[in-house]
Chain A
Amino acid sequence: MSEAQPTDRELSECDPDWPATRPSVIRDAVGVGIATGAYGLSFGAISTASGLSVLQTCVLSLVMFSGGSQFALVGVVGGGGAAMTGAATALLLGVRNGFYGIRLTRTLRLRRWQRPIAAQLVIDESTAMTIVRASRPAARLAFWATGISVFVLWNLATVIGAFAAELLRDPRTLGLDAAAPAAFLALMAPRLRSREPRIVAIVAAVVALASVPFVPTGVPVLLAAAVAIAAGSGSLRRRRRIESDDETPAATAIDEVSA
Protein backbone atom coordinates (compact mmCIF):
# COMPACT_ATOMS: atom_id res chain seq x y z
CA MET A 1 0.00 0.00 0.00
CA SER A 2 2.98 2.27 0.20
CA GLU A 3 4.81 1.58 -3.05
CA ALA A 4 4.50 4.30 -5.67
CA GLN A 5 2.43 3.56 -8.75
CA PRO A 6 2.46 5.50 -12.02
CA THR A 7 -1.22 6.23 -11.45
CA ASP A 8 -2.00 9.64 -12.81
CA ARG A 9 1.15 10.16 -14.78
CA GLU A 10 0.52 10.33 -18.48
CA LEU A 11 1.92 7.31 -20.29
CA SER A 12 4.36 8.02 -23.07
CA GLU A 13 3.27 6.96 -26.54
CA CYS A 14 6.80 6.39 -27.75
CA ASP A 15 9.12 4.27 -25.69
CA PRO A 16 12.78 4.03 -26.71
CA ASP A 17 13.04 0.57 -25.12
CA TRP A 18 9.74 -0.59 -26.56
CA PRO A 19 10.37 -3.37 -29.07
CA ALA A 20 13.15 -4.67 -26.83
CA THR A 21 10.90 -5.08 -23.79
CA ARG A 22 8.29 -7.01 -25.78
CA PRO A 23 9.61 -10.54 -25.01
CA SER A 24 9.80 -9.82 -21.29
CA VAL A 25 6.19 -8.56 -21.23
CA ILE A 26 5.05 -11.76 -22.94
CA ARG A 27 7.20 -13.94 -20.69
CA ASP A 28 5.62 -12.34 -17.60
CA ALA A 29 2.15 -12.84 -19.07
CA VAL A 30 2.71 -16.54 -19.66
CA GLY A 31 4.22 -16.94 -16.19
CA VAL A 32 1.19 -15.36 -14.55
CA GLY A 33 -1.05 -17.55 -16.72
CA ILE A 34 0.66 -20.73 -15.56
CA ALA A 35 0.49 -19.69 -11.90
CA THR A 36 -3.23 -18.88 -12.21
CA GLY A 37 -3.82 -22.09 -14.13
CA ALA A 38 -2.60 -24.04 -11.12
CA TYR A 39 -5.16 -22.15 -9.10
CA GLY A 40 -7.85 -22.99 -11.69
CA LEU A 41 -7.10 -26.65 -11.10
CA SER A 42 -8.19 -26.29 -7.48
CA PHE A 43 -11.25 -24.28 -8.54
CA GLY A 44 -12.42 -27.04 -10.88
CA ALA A 45 -11.95 -29.62 -8.15
CA ILE A 46 -13.67 -27.62 -5.39
CA SER A 47 -16.57 -26.72 -7.70
CA THR A 48 -17.52 -30.28 -8.60
CA ALA A 49 -16.87 -31.36 -5.01
CA SER A 50 -19.45 -28.71 -3.98
CA GLY A 51 -22.06 -30.36 -6.15
CA LEU A 52 -21.86 -28.39 -9.41
CA SER A 53 -21.70 -30.30 -12.69
CA VAL A 54 -18.64 -30.14 -14.92
CA LEU A 55 -20.60 -27.99 -17.40
CA GLN A 56 -21.72 -25.54 -14.71
CA THR A 57 -18.15 -25.34 -13.46
CA CYS A 58 -16.89 -24.55 -16.96
CA VAL A 59 -19.55 -21.89 -17.58
CA LEU A 60 -18.40 -20.13 -14.42
CA SER A 61 -14.78 -20.08 -15.60
CA LEU A 62 -15.74 -18.96 -19.11
CA VAL A 63 -18.32 -16.29 -18.33
CA MET A 64 -17.82 -15.21 -14.71
CA PHE A 65 -14.03 -15.47 -15.11
CA SER A 66 -13.01 -14.00 -11.76
CA GLY A 67 -11.36 -16.38 -9.29
CA GLY A 68 -12.56 -14.84 -6.04
CA SER A 69 -16.18 -14.64 -7.24
CA GLN A 70 -16.15 -18.19 -8.58
CA PHE A 71 -14.72 -19.63 -5.35
CA ALA A 72 -17.31 -17.64 -3.38
CA LEU A 73 -20.25 -18.98 -5.35
CA VAL A 74 -19.23 -22.63 -5.12
CA GLY A 75 -18.20 -22.13 -1.48
CA VAL A 76 -21.64 -20.87 -0.47
CA VAL A 77 -23.33 -23.66 -2.43
CA GLY A 78 -20.98 -26.31 -1.00
CA GLY A 79 -21.72 -25.07 2.52
CA GLY A 80 -25.44 -25.65 1.97
CA GLY A 81 -26.40 -22.04 1.14
CA ALA A 82 -28.91 -20.94 -1.47
CA ALA A 83 -27.44 -20.66 -4.97
CA MET A 84 -28.75 -17.07 -5.31
CA THR A 85 -26.98 -16.07 -2.08
CA GLY A 86 -23.82 -17.47 -3.62
CA ALA A 87 -24.44 -15.41 -6.76
CA ALA A 88 -24.92 -12.25 -4.67
CA THR A 89 -21.62 -12.87 -2.86
CA ALA A 90 -19.91 -13.45 -6.20
CA LEU A 91 -21.27 -10.18 -7.58
CA LEU A 92 -20.10 -8.21 -4.53
CA LEU A 93 -16.61 -9.67 -4.92
CA GLY A 94 -16.74 -8.80 -8.62
CA VAL A 95 -17.25 -5.10 -7.88
CA ARG A 96 -13.51 -4.55 -7.73
CA ASN A 97 -13.17 -5.52 -11.40
CA GLY A 98 -15.41 -2.55 -12.22
CA PHE A 99 -12.95 -0.27 -10.46
CA TYR A 100 -10.05 -1.84 -12.32
CA GLY A 101 -11.88 -1.04 -15.56
CA ILE A 102 -12.23 2.62 -14.60
CA ARG A 103 -8.52 2.74 -13.92
CA LEU A 104 -7.55 0.88 -17.11
CA THR A 105 -9.62 3.08 -19.44
CA ARG A 106 -7.05 5.85 -19.23
CA THR A 107 -4.14 3.51 -19.81
CA LEU A 108 -5.48 1.39 -22.65
CA ARG A 109 -7.55 3.94 -24.61
CA LEU A 110 -9.61 1.16 -26.19
CA ARG A 111 -11.68 1.56 -29.32
CA ARG A 112 -15.41 1.15 -28.82
CA TRP A 113 -15.56 -2.29 -30.46
CA GLN A 114 -12.66 -3.55 -28.33
CA ARG A 115 -14.39 -2.80 -25.03
CA PRO A 116 -16.78 -5.80 -24.84
CA ILE A 117 -13.84 -8.17 -25.47
CA ALA A 118 -11.37 -6.39 -23.22
CA ALA A 119 -13.94 -6.15 -20.40
CA GLN A 120 -13.97 -9.92 -19.95
CA LEU A 121 -10.19 -9.89 -19.40
CA VAL A 122 -10.30 -7.31 -16.59
CA ILE A 123 -9.16 -9.24 -13.51
CA ASP A 124 -6.62 -8.86 -10.69
CA GLU A 125 -3.75 -10.30 -12.71
CA SER A 126 -4.19 -8.41 -15.98
CA THR A 127 -4.68 -5.13 -14.10
CA ALA A 128 -1.60 -5.66 -11.96
CA MET A 129 0.56 -6.46 -15.01
CA THR A 130 -0.77 -3.49 -17.01
CA ILE A 131 -0.48 -0.63 -14.55
CA VAL A 132 3.23 -1.17 -13.86
CA ARG A 133 4.26 -0.62 -17.51
CA ALA A 134 5.95 2.65 -18.42
CA SER A 135 4.60 3.20 -21.94
CA ARG A 136 1.24 2.75 -23.62
CA PRO A 137 2.35 0.10 -26.15
CA ALA A 138 3.88 -1.97 -23.33
CA ALA A 139 0.81 -1.54 -21.13
CA ARG A 140 -1.50 -2.57 -23.97
CA LEU A 141 0.52 -5.66 -24.77
CA ALA A 142 0.71 -6.57 -21.08
CA PHE A 143 -3.06 -6.28 -20.75
CA TRP A 144 -3.97 -8.41 -23.77
CA ALA A 145 -1.18 -10.97 -23.30
CA THR A 146 -1.84 -11.47 -19.58
CA GLY A 147 -5.62 -11.49 -20.03
CA ILE A 148 -5.57 -14.03 -22.83
CA SER A 149 -2.92 -16.23 -21.22
CA VAL A 150 -4.80 -16.36 -17.90
CA PHE A 151 -8.16 -16.91 -19.67
CA VAL A 152 -6.90 -19.86 -21.70
CA LEU A 153 -4.95 -21.57 -18.91
CA TRP A 154 -7.60 -20.88 -16.26
CA ASN A 155 -10.31 -22.52 -18.37
CA LEU A 156 -8.11 -25.43 -19.37
CA ALA A 157 -7.19 -26.08 -15.73
CA THR A 158 -10.83 -25.79 -14.65
CA VAL A 159 -11.86 -28.65 -16.94
CA ILE A 160 -9.02 -30.88 -15.74
CA GLY A 161 -9.69 -30.14 -12.05
CA ALA A 162 -13.44 -30.65 -12.47
CA PHE A 163 -13.08 -34.06 -14.09
CA ALA A 164 -10.39 -35.16 -11.65
CA ALA A 165 -12.51 -34.37 -8.59
CA GLU A 166 -15.59 -36.00 -10.09
CA LEU A 167 -13.75 -39.31 -9.97
CA LEU A 168 -13.56 -39.08 -6.16
CA ARG A 169 -16.34 -40.68 -4.18
CA ASP A 170 -16.03 -38.43 -1.10
CA PRO A 171 -13.89 -35.31 -1.60
CA ARG A 172 -13.73 -34.85 2.17
CA THR A 173 -11.36 -37.79 2.55
CA LEU A 174 -8.81 -35.69 0.63
CA GLY A 175 -9.60 -32.69 2.81
CA LEU A 176 -11.04 -30.78 -0.15
CA ASP A 177 -13.53 -29.03 2.12
CA ALA A 178 -10.55 -27.21 3.66
CA ALA A 179 -9.32 -26.04 0.25
CA ALA A 180 -11.66 -23.06 -0.29
CA PRO A 181 -10.94 -21.33 3.05
CA ALA A 182 -7.21 -21.82 2.46
CA ALA A 183 -7.58 -20.34 -1.04
CA PHE A 184 -9.46 -17.32 0.36
CA LEU A 185 -6.76 -16.86 2.99
CA ALA A 186 -3.99 -16.89 0.39
CA LEU A 187 -5.95 -14.38 -1.71
CA MET A 188 -6.57 -12.04 1.18
CA ALA A 189 -3.27 -12.14 3.05
CA PRO A 190 -1.58 -9.38 0.96
CA ARG A 191 -4.46 -7.04 1.78
CA LEU A 192 -4.00 -7.31 5.52
CA ARG A 193 -0.84 -5.25 5.87
CA SER A 194 -2.43 -2.23 7.54
CA ARG A 195 -4.53 -1.85 10.65
CA GLU A 196 -7.90 -0.96 9.14
CA PRO A 197 -8.40 -4.00 6.90
CA ARG A 198 -7.37 -6.18 9.84
CA ILE A 199 -10.10 -4.70 12.02
CA VAL A 200 -12.62 -5.08 9.19
CA ALA A 201 -11.56 -8.73 8.81
CA ILE A 202 -12.05 -9.47 12.52
CA VAL A 203 -15.43 -7.71 12.64
CA ALA A 204 -16.56 -9.58 9.52
CA ALA A 205 -15.56 -12.97 10.94
CA VAL A 206 -17.25 -12.33 14.29
CA VAL A 207 -20.48 -11.02 12.73
CA ALA A 208 -20.60 -13.93 10.28
CA LEU A 209 -20.17 -16.60 12.96
CA ALA A 210 -22.51 -14.90 15.42
CA SER A 211 -25.32 -14.68 12.87
CA VAL A 212 -25.03 -18.25 11.55
CA PRO A 213 -27.76 -19.75 13.79
CA PHE A 214 -30.26 -16.98 13.03
CA VAL A 215 -30.27 -16.41 9.26
CA PRO A 216 -30.32 -18.70 6.19
CA THR A 217 -26.98 -20.26 5.16
CA GLY A 218 -24.86 -17.94 3.05
CA VAL A 219 -26.51 -14.78 4.38
CA PRO A 220 -24.01 -14.34 7.27
CA VAL A 221 -21.35 -13.53 4.66
CA LEU A 222 -23.43 -10.72 3.16
CA LEU A 223 -24.37 -9.46 6.62
CA ALA A 224 -20.73 -9.44 7.71
CA ALA A 225 -19.77 -7.47 4.62
CA ALA A 226 -22.45 -4.86 5.32
CA VAL A 227 -21.39 -4.39 8.96
CA ALA A 228 -17.69 -4.29 8.14
CA ILE A 229 -18.25 -1.75 5.38
CA ALA A 230 -20.34 0.43 7.67
CA ALA A 231 -17.48 0.33 10.18
CA GLY A 232 -15.02 1.13 7.42
CA SER A 233 -16.86 4.15 6.06
CA GLY A 234 -17.36 5.36 9.64
CA SER A 235 -13.64 5.22 10.24
CA LEU A 236 -13.02 7.12 7.00
CA ARG A 237 -15.34 9.93 8.09
CA ARG A 238 -13.59 10.11 11.47
CA ARG A 239 -10.18 10.18 9.88
CA ARG A 240 -11.21 12.90 7.44
CA ARG A 241 -12.31 15.08 10.31
CA ILE A 242 -8.90 14.76 11.93
CA GLU A 243 -6.62 15.09 8.97
CA SER A 244 -6.87 15.46 5.23
CA ASP A 245 -4.51 13.07 3.52
CA ASP A 246 -3.32 13.81 0.04
CA GLU A 247 -3.10 10.26 -1.25
CA THR A 248 -4.81 9.83 -4.61
CA PRO A 249 -7.71 7.41 -4.22
CA ALA A 250 -6.99 5.69 -7.51
CA ALA A 251 -3.46 4.90 -6.35
CA THR A 252 -4.74 3.34 -3.14
CA ALA A 253 -7.16 1.18 -5.06
CA ILE A 254 -4.61 -0.13 -7.47
CA ASP A 255 -2.12 -0.88 -4.73
CA GLU A 256 -4.55 -3.52 -3.58
CA VAL A 257 -4.14 -5.44 -6.81
CA SER A 258 -1.37 -7.57 -5.37
CA ALA A 259 -3.58 -10.65 -4.87
Chain B
Amino acid sequence: MWPAILLGSVGCYAIKLLGFSLPRKVVENKGVMHVANLLPVALLTALIATQTFTSGRHLQLDARAAGLLAAVVAVRLKAPFLVVVAVACAVAALVRLVS
Protein backbone atom coordinates (compact mmCIF):
# COMPACT_ATOMS: atom_id res chain seq x y z
CA MET B 1 0.00 0.00 0.00
CA TRP B 2 2.75 2.48 0.94
CA PRO B 3 4.51 2.55 -2.47
CA ALA B 4 1.21 3.44 -4.17
CA ILE B 5 0.41 6.12 -1.60
CA LEU B 6 3.84 7.73 -1.91
CA LEU B 7 3.98 7.47 -5.70
CA GLY B 8 0.47 8.87 -6.08
CA SER B 9 1.08 11.65 -3.58
CA VAL B 10 4.46 12.78 -4.89
CA GLY B 11 3.16 12.46 -8.45
CA CYS B 12 0.15 14.68 -7.71
CA TYR B 13 2.48 17.30 -6.22
CA ALA B 14 4.83 17.06 -9.21
CA ILE B 15 1.88 17.72 -11.57
CA LYS B 16 1.00 20.85 -9.60
CA LEU B 17 4.61 22.09 -9.69
CA LEU B 18 4.86 21.31 -13.41
CA GLY B 19 1.85 23.56 -13.98
CA PHE B 20 3.86 26.55 -12.78
CA SER B 21 6.66 25.83 -15.22
CA LEU B 22 4.95 24.70 -18.45
CA PRO B 23 5.00 27.06 -21.44
CA ARG B 24 1.86 28.99 -22.26
CA LYS B 25 1.65 27.28 -25.63
CA VAL B 26 0.36 24.11 -23.95
CA VAL B 27 -2.56 25.76 -22.19
CA GLU B 28 -3.59 27.47 -25.41
CA ASN B 29 -3.79 24.21 -27.32
CA LYS B 30 -7.49 23.47 -27.80
CA GLY B 31 -7.12 19.71 -28.03
CA VAL B 32 -5.17 19.51 -24.79
CA MET B 33 -7.67 21.68 -22.92
CA HIS B 34 -10.61 19.71 -24.29
CA VAL B 35 -9.21 16.43 -23.05
CA ALA B 36 -8.26 18.00 -19.72
CA ASN B 37 -11.87 19.07 -19.22
CA LEU B 38 -13.38 15.71 -20.12
CA LEU B 39 -10.92 13.58 -18.15
CA PRO B 40 -12.42 14.19 -14.68
CA VAL B 41 -15.96 13.57 -15.99
CA ALA B 42 -14.95 10.21 -17.48
CA LEU B 43 -12.97 9.11 -14.43
CA LEU B 44 -15.58 10.13 -11.88
CA THR B 45 -18.48 8.47 -13.73
CA ALA B 46 -16.50 5.27 -14.16
CA LEU B 47 -15.69 5.33 -10.44
CA ILE B 48 -19.36 5.88 -9.55
CA ALA B 49 -20.44 3.01 -11.82
CA THR B 50 -17.88 0.47 -10.61
CA GLN B 51 -18.14 1.34 -6.93
CA THR B 52 -21.91 1.12 -6.97
CA PHE B 53 -22.66 -1.81 -9.26
CA THR B 54 -19.73 -4.20 -8.90
CA SER B 55 -18.27 -6.44 -6.25
CA GLY B 56 -14.80 -7.72 -7.05
CA ARG B 57 -14.99 -8.76 -10.69
CA HIS B 58 -18.71 -9.25 -11.12
CA LEU B 59 -21.71 -6.97 -11.37
CA GLN B 60 -23.88 -6.72 -8.29
CA LEU B 61 -27.03 -4.83 -7.46
CA ASP B 62 -27.40 -4.11 -3.74
CA ALA B 63 -28.08 -1.39 -1.16
CA ARG B 64 -25.40 0.84 -2.67
CA ALA B 65 -27.61 1.39 -5.75
CA ALA B 66 -30.37 2.72 -3.49
CA GLY B 67 -27.81 5.02 -1.89
CA LEU B 68 -26.72 6.36 -5.28
CA LEU B 69 -30.33 6.91 -6.33
CA ALA B 70 -30.86 8.95 -3.16
CA ALA B 71 -27.70 10.93 -3.95
CA VAL B 72 -29.01 11.71 -7.45
CA VAL B 73 -32.22 13.06 -5.94
CA ALA B 74 -30.26 15.12 -3.39
CA VAL B 75 -28.02 16.60 -6.11
CA ARG B 76 -31.11 17.43 -8.18
CA LEU B 77 -32.52 19.29 -5.18
CA LYS B 78 -29.21 21.20 -4.98
CA ALA B 79 -28.37 19.82 -1.54
CA PRO B 80 -24.92 20.73 -0.16
CA PHE B 81 -22.07 18.24 -0.45
CA LEU B 82 -22.28 16.71 3.01
CA VAL B 83 -26.06 16.28 2.78
CA VAL B 84 -25.67 14.38 -0.50
CA VAL B 85 -23.16 12.01 1.09
CA ALA B 86 -25.13 11.61 4.32
CA VAL B 87 -28.39 10.87 2.50
CA ALA B 88 -26.67 8.22 0.35
CA CYS B 89 -25.19 6.54 3.44
CA ALA B 90 -28.45 6.64 5.36
CA VAL B 91 -30.51 5.15 2.53
CA ALA B 92 -27.92 2.40 1.85
CA ALA B 93 -27.77 1.54 5.56
CA LEU B 94 -31.57 1.50 5.80
CA VAL B 95 -32.05 -0.75 2.77
CA ARG B 96 -29.40 -3.11 4.15
CA LEU B 97 -31.14 -3.18 7.52
CA VAL B 98 -34.52 -4.01 5.97
CA SER B 99 -33.37 -6.62 3.45
What residues make up the interface of A, taking CB atoms closer than 8 Å to B? 35, 38-39, 41-42, 52, 56, 59-60, 63-66, 68-69, 71-73, 75-80, 82-84, 86-106, 110, 115-116, 118-120, 122, 172-189, 191-192, 196-197, 200-205, 207-209, 212-213, 216-217, 220-221, 224-225, 228-229, 232-233, 236, 240, 248-250, 252-253, 256
In the bound assembly, the distance between CA atoms of A225 and B43 in angstroms comes to 5
Given the interface pairs A181-B47, A200-B38, the reply to whether A73 lies near B4 with Cβ below 8 Å is: yes
Within residues 25 to 47 of chain B, which ones have a CB less than 8 A from any CB in chain A?
26-47
B93 touches A175 (CB 8 A): yes
In the bound assembly, the distance between CA atoms of A223 and B81 in angstroms comes to 28
In the bound assembly, the distance between CA atoms of A45 and B51 in angstroms comes to 16
Contact partners of A250 in chain B: CB under 8 A = 27-28, 33
A60 touches B9 (CB 8 A): yes
In the bound assembly, the distance between CA atoms of A75 and B30 in angstroms comes to 31
In the bound assembly, the distance between CA atoms of A183 and B70 in angstroms comes to 12
B48 touches A205 (CB 8 A): yes
Number of interface residues of B (CB under 8 A): 81
Contact partners of A224 in chain B: CB under 8 A = 42-43, 45-46, 49
Contact partners of A97 in chain B: CB under 8 A = 12, 15-16, 19
In the bound assembly, the distance between CA atoms of A187 and B82 in angstroms comes to 11
Contact partners of B22 in chain A: CB under 8 A = 98, 101-102
Write the chain B residue with the least CB distance to A73. B8
- Pick the residue among A181, A183, A220, A236 that contacts B81 (CB under 8 A): A183
Given the interface pairs A180-B51, A250-B33, the reply to whether A205 lies near B7 with Cβ below 8 Å is: no
Known: A75-B51, A84-B4, A98-B22. 4 other contacts (CB 8 A): A204-B49, A208-B46, A225-B42, A248-B28
Which of A77, A95, A216, A248 has its CB near the most chain B CB atoms (within 10 A)? A95
In the bound assembly, the distance between CA atoms of A212 and B24 in angstroms comes to 39
- Pick the residue among A52, A105, A181 that contacts B88 (CB under 8 A): A181
Given the interface pairs A182-B84, A186-B85, the reply to whether A89 lies near B41 with Cβ below 8 Å is: no
In the bound assembly, the distance between CA atoms of A56 and B59 in angstroms comes to 29
In the bound assembly, the distance between CA atoms of A106 and B4 in angstroms comes to 33
- Pick the residue among B6, B8, B50 that contacts A221 (CB under 8 A): B50
Contact partners of A106 in chain B: CB under 8 A = 24
A-B contact pairs, 19 of them (CB 8 A): A84-B4, A92-B39, A93-B43, A97-B12, A101-B18, A178-B89, A179-B89, A181-B47, A182-B68, A200-B38, A200-B42, A201-B41, A203-B42, A208-B49, A213-B59, A225-B42, A225-B43, A229-B35, A232-B35
